[in-house]
A and B are shown apart, each in its own frame.
Chain A
Amino acid sequence: MQRRRVLPGFGLSLGYVVTYLGLIVLLPLAALAWKASGVGLHQLLQLLSSPRTLAALRLSFGGALVAAVFNAVIGLLVAWVMTRYRFPGRRLLDAFIDLPFALPTAVAGIALTAIYAPNGWLGQWLVPLGIQIAYTPLGVMMAMVFVGFPFVVRTLQPVLEAMDRDVEEAAASLGATRLQTFMRVILPMLMPALLTGFALALARAVGEYGSVIFIAGNIPMHSEIAPLLIVEKLEQVDYAGAAALGVVMLCFSFVLLIVIARLQRWSGRWAERSA
């Protein structure tokens, strides 16, 4: 570097950060890579192709996908209503959007179970109607919706607030209906943020444990999620099996992390261009 640095502490802060990250994050990751590489590809596939593991992976990924899609739709609606309409209690309700972030997952888990169990608050009315939520895949998805809910709303809100209303008015004055304006003007502008929120909610739901295990009932092949299977394998001291599952889930997280970073850069450019 040509110019002498005026600001101090480069070596100290970077050195500290790299050491800390190395010890807390990289070293444990290396341990997983080491354990998984000791397993071997053939055995890895064998571990992963047991029917019970496949069922758990299908529920974790499939359920998370359904929950994230649901959250994208309801999150768009909530963000829209919160930024566009004024009604009594709006600010209070807005503060409660973050409740799933603040409430410990185990607390959410037992509360959801108390509500949807067959003798629970809502369960006692829903079960006679044939809607069983607790101890089924539906219950798993319910918990995943709960923990993923704030992501879409909180990524959309700033974009909606910053959005210039001129474009909408221009569309309207050019003869577009409200629906056309929404589908062709507003939705494309929201798309990067919407996809970011969707991906964040998906990532969260796939790995979720605390809020799911109580309401899931954890019936193998039916309502058992992949993270729980990891816990069970660890309890049986089957480190290789746990590591194999862990690697699959971690790879998925990495891919999503990269996708999210790309999406955020895209929405950043988007915001600059429309600003």
Chain B
Amino acid sequence: MKATPRVSRPVSWPRLLLHILLILIVVCFMGVFLLLPLATVFVEALRSGVHAFMQAIAQREALSSMRLTLFVAAIAVPLNLIFGVAAAWAMTRFEFRGKALLGTFIDLPFSVSPVISGLLYVLLFGAQGWFGPWLDQHGVRIIFAVPSLVLVTIFITLPFVARELIPLMQAQGSDEEEAARVLGASAWQMFFRVTLPNIRWALLYGVLLCKARAMGEFGAVSVVSGHIRGLTTTMPREVEMRYNEYDYVGAFAVASLLALLALLTLAVKTLLEWRYGDQIAQHTPAGH
């Protein structure tokens, strides 16, 4: 029997009109709801010209917020990368009791509101929190200081790499790794020569999403950061502060940098999906 081509099936006129109508609805919806906000960011940032834009992003506060954002991401992302690989290894290569529960806890930060994540850490380290009095006595500041920004960012982005790797490593199975071991490879040889090459694109994909989220986090960071400008202000917080001070060009200028980052993330992500789609697991989207 010959396979029937699907796309070129003759379509009746009313059906074709319906198709066009549906496509138009989708294009209009996405245009107004997704692309218009994106365009707004760039247009508003350049409203007073390129010079004003450059001035706005070269201000000391802007530069220090960029440094802080990069610093926080530079700690949180590698830690969650190592965690993700370890979690995927334990979850997909071994059977143990409580595995499902462990999976639930790995996913948990995705379903917690960013504000609640911040609240959790305030209750842990804040003045009236669990460790608050002890920390105070020893002169250690966590809340309203950089360590809390790092901690909440780690919490928020914890599942990204693990979620990317677990379905993929599950699907790949452990035959190649077992073969490597039987042939005499040491544990680390097996990991670096067999496991890592097999998961590299999914790993990159997970790190990409993790990094994007780490640099853009707002809710959790605003709860724990206090309002110490220049010290605990990350880029999204700098956007908020400028906006609340009616410095719209300044706010949108910093926002446009974050939007550029988002576009770059989307581009690399799409590229990875097109080129290495088979080496990136099919999965449902993440929560917060």
Same complex for A and B? Answer yes
Residues of chain A whose beta carbon lies under 8 Å from any beta carbon of chain B: 5-10, 12-14, 16-18, 20-21, 24-29, 31-32, 34-35, 74, 77-78, 80-82, 85-87, 89, 93, 95-108, 110-112, 114-115, 121-122, 145-146, 149-151, 154-155, 158, 165, 178, 196, 200, 203-204, 206-210, 214, 227-228, 230-231, 234, 237, 239, 242-243, 246, 249-250, 253-254, 256-257, 260-261, 264
User: Does B7 lie within 8 Å of A86, measured CB to CB?
Assistant: yes
User: Does B115 lie within 8 Å of A209, measured CB to CB?
Assistant: yes
Residues of chain B whose beta carbon lies under 8 Å from any beta carbon of chain A: 6-7, 15, 19, 22-23, 25-27, 29-30, 32-38, 40-41, 44, 82-83, 86-87, 89-90, 93-94, 96, 102, 104-109, 111-117, 119-124, 126-130, 151, 154-155, 158, 174, 177-178, 181-182, 187, 190-191, 209, 212, 215-219, 222-223, 235-237, 239-240, 243, 248, 251-252, 255, 258-259, 262-263, 265-267, 269-270, 282, 284-288
User: Does B119 lie within 8 Å of A155, measured CB to CB?
Assistant: no
Whole-angstrom distance between the Cβ of A111 and the nearest chain B Cβ: 4
Given contacts A115-B37, A207-B112, A239-B126, contact A85 B22 (CB under 8 A): yes
Measured between beta carbons, the chain A residues less than 8 angstroms from B114 are 105, 207, 209-210, 227
Measured between beta carbons, the chain B residues less than 8 angstroms from A250 are 112, 116
Question: Chain A: which residue is nearest B124 at the CB level?
Answer: A31
User: Does A25 lie within 8 Å of B287, measured CB to CB?
Assistant: no
Question: Chain A: which residue is nearest B83 at the CB level?
Answer: A20
Whole-angstrom distance between the Cβ of A258 and the nearest chain B Cβ: 8
Measured between beta carbons, the chain B residues less than 8 angstroms from A200 are 284-285, 287
- Complex CA gap A82/B30 in Å reads 12
User: Does A104 lie within 8 Å of B215, measured CB to CB?
Assistant: yes
Measured between beta carbons, the chain A residues less than 8 angstroms from B119 are 32, 230, 234, 242-243, 246
User: Does A110 lie within 8 Å of B251, measured CB to CB?
Assistant: yes
- Complex CA gap A16/B235 in Å reads 32
A110, A121, A145, A260: most-surrounded residue (chain B CB, <10 A) = A110
User: Does A14 lie within 8 Å of B113, measured CB to CB?
Assistant: no
- Complex CA gap A49/B29 in Å reads 39
- Complex CA gap A78/B182 in Å reads 50
- Complex CA gap A179/B215 in Å reads 46
Majority secondary structure of chain B interface residues (helix, strand, loop or mixed): helix
From B35, B108, B151, give the contact of A96 (CB < 8 A).
Answer: B35
Whole-angstrom distance between the Cβ of A183 and the nearest chain B Cβ: 16
Measured between beta carbons, the chain B residues less than 8 angstroms from A93 are 26-27, 30
Question: Chain B: which residue is nearest A206 at the CB level?
Answer: B113
Measured between beta carbons, the chain B residues less than 8 angstroms from A78 are 26, 29-30
Measured between beta carbons, the chain B residues less than 8 angstroms from A28 are 117, 120-121, 123-124, 155
From A12, A103, A178, A237, give the contact of B262 (CB < 8 A).
Answer: A103
From A13, A34, A74, A111, give the contact of B86 (CB < 8 A).
Answer: A13
- Complex CA gap A98/B267 in Å reads 11
- Complex CA gap A5/B187 in Å reads 12
Question: Chain A: which residue is nearest B130 at the CB level?
Answer: A31
User: Does A102 lie within 8 Å of B212, measured CB to CB?
Assistant: yes
17 contacts between A and B (CB under 8 A): A7-B94, A10-B90, A12-B86, A14-B94, A93-B26, A96-B34, A146-B37, A151-B285, A165-B6, A207-B112, A231-B115, A231-B223, A234-B122, A249-B113, A249-B116, A257-B111, A261-B104
